Amino acid sequence: MKPTVFVTGASRGIGHEIAVQFAKNGYKVFALWHNAPEKLTDVGDLNITAVQGDVSSLASMQKVYETVGAVDILINNAAISHFGLITDVSEDEWDRIIAVNLKSVFLTSKVFLPDMIRKKSGRIINISSIFGAVGGSCEVAYSAAKAGIIGFTKALAKEVGPSGIQVNCIAPGVIETEMNARLSAEDKAALIDETPLGRIGTPADVAALALYLAKDTFITGEVLHVGGGFLR
């Protein structure tokens, strides 16, 4: 029986690439989308099932679970960003960023963990950010949420390790995604200059590490950076 993986934020960027790469490697993939399913309707004969849901809502995630059922691997990737001074961030914007980026990790874990605990087997891979580790100017809410994911990962790994469940975190650096589309050519050039490996990362770079963690049997509670040395 093929192992199953549930990926949030899978309609674009890193999440979409993770869904595609896992399917190509023999996994049965459930790919969650919220507002934009277009890319998930064009995946050919890959074993990817698109599921609609709101990661910030427990009721929505419980409904999604009724469709998906038990999974072997949970990948929490869904995220939104906001660029601007903290004094200009509204309370609603702050709450939304925390809900989608951090609360979602709690909700999906709450829904999918019981089956893993019963089986004494499972893996949770959370996607944070380099800014969760070092902070990003004018991205305070995003950085705070991503830092929360790091703390969540480390604590949950200790809690569910005795049940045979591994919990790890990937912290990407600058990745070529729609979220970074606001960057000018000059901004990108400066970021490349600050990256020891001399390039911006791709979603495939992150997906490759996720695949590795999905197969590993002795790594847990770790934060692994994929950023070409950016800000390290």
Per-residue confidence (pLDDT) for residue 113, from 0 to 100: 98
DSSP character at residue 103: I
Per-residue confidence (pLDDT) for residue 183, from 0 to 100: 72
Domains parsed from the chain with CATH numbers: 4-226 (3.40.50.720)
Distances (CA, A) of 42 to 15, 20, 35, 45, 68: 15, 11, 16, 9, 20
Active site residue 142: yes
Q: How far apart are CA 154 and CA 92, in angstroms?
A: 28
Per-residue confidence (pLDDT) for residue 179, from 0 to 100: 65
Per-residue confidence (pLDDT) for residue 167, from 0 to 100: 98
The phi and psi torsions of 135 (rounded to 5 degrees) equal: 85, 150
> pLDDT 10s per residue in the chain (232 long)?
789 999 999 999 999 999 999 999 999 999 999 987 767 767 778 999 999 999 999 999 999 999 999 999 999 999 999 999 999 999 999 999 999 999 999 999 999 999 999 999 999 999 999 999 999 999 999 999 999 999 999 999 999 999 999 999 999 998 987 766 677 788 788 888 989 999 999 999 999 999 999 999 999 999 999 999 987 7
C-alpha distance across the termini of the chain, in Å = 41
Q: Active site residue: 27, 65, 142, 212, which one?
A: 142
Per-residue confidence (pLDDT) for residue 43, from 0 to 100: 75
Nearest to 55 by CA among 98, 89, 85: 98
CB 232 within 8 A of CB 225: yes
The residue assigned the tokens 């929360």 is: 148
Per-residue confidence (pLDDT) for residue 151, from 0 to 100: 98
The phi and psi torsions of 215 (rounded to 5 degrees) equal: -100, -20
